[in-house]
């Protein structure tokens, strides 16, 4: 990607934060004007990215690490997801974030063994194992949006619903606290 296109991508990310989080008052006409420019830039940048990625074989669903993770975790966990940067194809940096659900709850000793076994299988010590049984709801939702390694659709739906309910409870409690 050219430096100019990289600068446009960075500017677009910053613009998104400004618009979504309301960091600045922006006139509607400016938003329309900017959206036209973003549309033109996005097409050019997408074409550049696609041509750069063609033939590189970086699809995380077909990636060798997913198979290695599955081999280590099969029979040991009921559900496992690869999430974070590696799940998005950022193989040059970042660790392996692996979320697991263990029947009967997560034993710290067993989680430690899983981490060591995964590190050995992947040939990389940068492995983080997250226990979905007790993870905060935001982390559960992030993990479940990753790459399924060992999937159980019913359990996934249950964990997803539970996380959303917990987040809703927190939001309601927070609103009540600030009304007083």
- In angstroms, the CA 165 to CA 178 distance is 20
| Residue boundaries of the structural domains of the chain | 3-58, 64-161
So what's the architecture of 64-161 in CATH?
Answer: 2-Layer Sandwich (3.30)
Q: How confident is the model at residue 174 (pLDDT cuts 50, 70, 90)?
A: low
Q: Is 2 or 38 the better-scoring residue by pLDDT?
A: 2
Question: Does 172 score more than 70 pLDDT?
Answer: no
Which pLDDT score, from 0 to 100, does residue 131 have? 97
Question: Does 50 score more than 80 pLDDT?
Answer: no
Residues with Cβ within 8 Å of residue 162, at least 6 apart in sequence: 137, 140
Highest mean pLDDT: which range of 43-52, 54-63, 138-147: 138-147
Instruction: Check: CB of residue 163 under 8 Å from CB of residue 137.
Output: yes
Which pLDDT score, from 0 to 100, does residue 32 have? 76
- Chain mean position to CA 87: 7
pLDDT tens-digit readout, 51-74: 776 655 544 444 689 999 999 999
Instruction: Check: CB of residue 148 under 8 Å from CB of residue 61.
Output: no
Q: What is the 3 state secondary structure string of the chain?
A: CCHHHHHHHHHHHHHHHHHHHCCCCCCHHHHHHHHHHHHHHHHHHHHHHHHHHCCCCCCHHHCHHHHHHHHHHCCCCCEEEEECCHHHCCCCCCCEEEEEECCCCCCHHHHHHHHHHHHHHHCCCCEEEEECCCCCHHHHHHHHCCEEEECCHHHHHHHHHHHHHHHHHHHHHHHHHHHC
Q: What percent of the chain has pLDDT over 70?
A: 77
- In angstroms, the CA 155 to CA 160 distance is 8
Q: How confident is the model at residue 157 (pLDDT cuts 50, 70, 90)?
A: very high
Question: Does 16 score more than 60 pLDDT?
Answer: yes
Instruction: Check: CB of residue 70 under 8 Å from CB of residue 150.
Output: yes
For the ranges 13-22, 42-51, 55-64, 112-121, which has the lowest average pLDDT?
55-64
């Amino acid at each position: 990607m050219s430096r100019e296109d990289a600068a446009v991508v960075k500017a677009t990310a910053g613009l998104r934060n400004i618009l979504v989080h309301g960091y600045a008052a922006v006139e509607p006409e400016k938003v329309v004007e900017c959206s036209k420019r973003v549309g033109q830039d996005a097409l050019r940048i997408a074409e550049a990215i696609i041509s750069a990625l063609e033939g590189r074989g970086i699809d995380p669903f077909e990636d060798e690490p997913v198979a290695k993770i599955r081999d280590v975790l099969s029979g040991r966990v009921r559900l496992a997801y690869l999430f974070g940067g590696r799940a998005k194809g950022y193989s040059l940096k970042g660790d392996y974030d692996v979320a697991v659900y263990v029947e009967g709850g997560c034993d710290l000793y067993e989680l430690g063994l899983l981490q060591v076994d995964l590190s050995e299988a992947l040939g990389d010590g940068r492995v983080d194992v997250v226990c979905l049984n007790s993870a905060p709801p935001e982390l559960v939702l992030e993990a479940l949006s990753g790459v399924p390694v060992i999937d159980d659709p019913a359990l996934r739906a249950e964990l997803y619903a539970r996380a959303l309910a917990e987040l809703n409870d927190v939001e309601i409690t927070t609103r009540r606290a600030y009304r007083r």
